Structure 1
Amino acid sequence: MIVAVIGTRETNEEMIRLCEAVCRKLRDAGYCLATGNALGIDSIARDIWNERFPERVTLYLPWAGYNAGGIHPRNRVIVFSSQKDWLESVGKYHPAPDRLTPAAVKLHARNFGIVSSADLVIAFPRSTSKAGGTGQGIRIAEALGKRLYVLPKDLGTFACWRNAKELR
């Protein structure tokens, strides 16, 4: 099973601790990781998996070399290269696609790759506004009918994370 972990670059100590704990449980329960390799939540998740199972990490990059310093040689790397469904997702799910720069389009497009590949999506947004790339990932997950937990808001319904095998 694949879990997508997406989230803000603007973390706080509570968010970091929760992300680390959730990621360790899911990693140790046998999940594979899909994430975007951004600083913040993405890199925390990547580093947790890379501690023990880097071969179970798939990183979706908006362009080659994006945050390359954190990529383990055994990680699988998929780079956005105008994949049609990824690109179409920006216009379909972003509230203002015409205002995005070319780089922002690529960042938002790779969210479709991340989320569409996953069986389960864990999101750590900066706020409840569904803004930014995390908001785009949440909108995609909802549209695709993915099992989605927005943490820490959904922690009560995500209580079974303590026994991560129950999520399968």
Structure 2
Amino acid sequence: MKVINILEDGSPPRSVYVRPTGDLTVYDGERKYKLKVDIGGAETTWQILARVAPAIAHAADVRSKIDDLADRCRTGWRPAYPEEIDPDVPQRTLWRSRFGIDLIRYPDEEFYSPATILMGIASGAGPSTSLVGKTDGAVGVTGDILWIDAAREWAVCEDAFWWTPREE
């Protein structure tokens, strides 16, 4: 594994953990990204950095769009159709969703931990950036909830926009 640390005056350090398989974990302040990048043939730190930098920049751009979507929802706007959401924002479906707590992130809470994620049966395309991840048709876990609809029909989470339809 290679670890690349980026230090800037007055800013918290940023770290990129690159595994030989191409799995990346990026710590950027309070944010954590998990990505998969093809680093085949890259041997030096500079070659690896050249391969992973575009993926990190794209993930940060998508997260910015997710944050913008959450801000828009806080104003009272409600999406009715998938086409109303920026196409760069991943959309997934979570059936039978329930609130959950990510105990990996909050292991030291003694008495009360707020529900910060949703769990259920996941479906949708694309990789997940949540800590636990997901597979189609299996137990799915979202990233932290940024905004959730009062009727729990959808949620904006740090990794994607999640539709949470009620089962009839």
Q: State TM-score, norm by structure 2.
A: 0.25
Q: Which has the higher contact order (CA 8 A, sep 6+)?
A: 1
TM-score normalised to structure 1 length: 0.25
By percentage of residues, which structure has more helix?
A: 1
